[in-house]
């Protein structure tokens, strides 16, 4: 990939990591009615998987091989110098952290998403009025989205990668803007297109906020003409996912965002 200006893949991955975690854990509702007991949830059960982060920008065969004696290599994320290792050694972290080529060793924890809260508010007249549920979309008025639409800013030519629990590819508000060729899942055993059925899916919800089409149906997104790319990093069944899945999704988005 030709990198723009001075940005490296690792820089983009770190930057996107901030945005992704803000999306996963910062989806707070109306701040005036925020519940103070909402918090990011990390599963407390001991993990046997660890992410080993090397000092090098990318991985080489030698670096990967240096971990073979400590456990089983589950996967690698070479673009940002990470190897995921499964081990039963209780001293794995201390041993591997002493290697001169290693920057840090981090448990591959499972992260849980937070269920959103719904608040109903009225919007002033705008170009979204032909959408069935636009009057419930208080956030559009809060960020002056209607004014942006009227000024011609609709997201044309922009790709938005939704790192979440997959997307409903058949949803009539999302299908017009969905890039199914680029969409991908990093959750083992689950496709990026969610299973059939009428139920809540967080990734579909977020995709609608970002880029639901302006089609006189349902809702409208902030950027109603942007392309949506589903990058599944959380299980649609549990709402949780490994740090390594999220890292893989970040790298994938950084590689294909142009």
90, 136: one domain: no
Q: Count the domains in the chain.
A: 2
Q: Does one domain contain both 213 and 127?
A: yes
Q: What is the 3-state secondary structure (H, E, C) of the chain?
A: CCCCCCCCHHHHHHHHHHHHHHHHHCCCCCHHHCCCCCCCEECCCCCCEEEEEECCCCCCHHHHHCCCCCCEEEEEEHHHCEEEEECCCCCHHHHHHCCCCEEEEEECCEEECCCCCCCCCCCCCCHHHHCCCHHHCHHHHHCCHHHHHHCCCCCCCCEEEEEECCECCCCCCCHHHECCCCCEECCCCCCCECCCCCCCCHHHHHHHHHHCCCCCCCCCCCCCCCEEEEEECCCCCCCEEEHHHHHHHHHHHHHHCC
Quote the pTM value: 0.70
In a domain, 1, yes or no: no
Give the pLDDT confidence score for residue 124 in this predicted structure.
Answer: 53
Of 32-36, 40-44, 136-140, 231-235, least confident by mean pLDDT is 32-36
Domain identity same for 72 and 30: no
Does one domain contain both 204 and 250?
yes
Handedness of CA 201, 20, 239, 196 (dihedral sign): positive
- Looking at the structure, do residues 80 and 66 belong to the same domain, yes or no? yes
The confidence score (pLDDT) of residue 40 equals 45
Q: In what order do the strands lie in the sheet with 49-54?
A: 72-77, 82-86, 49-54, 102-107
Phi, psi for residue 104 in degrees, rounded to 5:
-160, 160
Q: Looking at the structure, do residues 192 and 94 belong to the same domain, yes or no?
A: no
CA separation for the pair 184, 163 (Å, rounded):
10
CA–CA dist 211, 220 (Å, integer): 7
160 and 104 in a common domain: no
Q: Are residues 68 and 172 in the same domain?
A: no
Residue-number span of the structural domain to which 20 is assigned? 9-38+114-256
pLDDT at 1 over 60: no
Residue 79's domain is classified under what CATH number? 3.30.70.80
* Contact of 147 with 175, CB cutoff 8 Å: no
pLDDT at 35 over 70: no
230 vs 55: CA distance, rounded Å: 30
pLDDT at position 44, please? 42
pLDDT, mean over the chain: 81
Average pLDDT over residues 57-85: 88
Answer whether 203's CB lies under 8 Å from 233's CB.
Answer: no
Q: pLDDT for 171-188, tens place per residue?
A: 999 999 999 999 999 999
């Amino acid at each position: 990939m030709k990198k723009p200006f001075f940005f490296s893949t690792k820089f983009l991955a770190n930057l996107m990591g901030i945005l992704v975690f803000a999306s996963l854990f910062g989806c707070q509702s109306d701040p005036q009615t925020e519940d103070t007991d909402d918090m990011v949830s990390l599963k407390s059960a001991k993990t046997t998987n660890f992410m080993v982060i090397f000092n090098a920008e990318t991985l080489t065969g030698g670096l990967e091989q240096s971990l073979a004696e400590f456990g089983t290599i589950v996967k690698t994320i070479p673009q940002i110098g990470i190897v995921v290792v499964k081990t039963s050694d209780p001293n794995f972290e201390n041993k591997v952290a002493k290697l001169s080529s290693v920057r840090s060793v981090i448990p591959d924890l499972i992260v849980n998403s937070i269920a959103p809260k719904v608040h109903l508010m009225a919007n002033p007249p705008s170009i979204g009025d032909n959408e069935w549920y636009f009057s419930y979309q208080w956030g559009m008025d809060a960020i002056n989205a209607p004014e942006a639409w009227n000024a011609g800013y609709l997201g044309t030519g922009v790709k938005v990668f939704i790192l979440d629990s997959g997307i409903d590819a058949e949803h009539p508000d999302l299908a017009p803007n969905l890039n199914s060729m680029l969409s991908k899942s990093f959750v083992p055993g689950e496709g990026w297109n969610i299973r059939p059925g009428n139920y809540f899916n967080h990734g579909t919800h977020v995709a609608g906020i970002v880029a639901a089409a302006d089609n006189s149906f349902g809702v409208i997104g902030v950027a109603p003409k942007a392309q949506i790319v589903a990058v599944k990093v959380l299980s649609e069944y549990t709402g949780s996912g490994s740090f390594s899945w999220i890292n893989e999704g970040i790298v994938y988005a950084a590689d294909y965002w142009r």
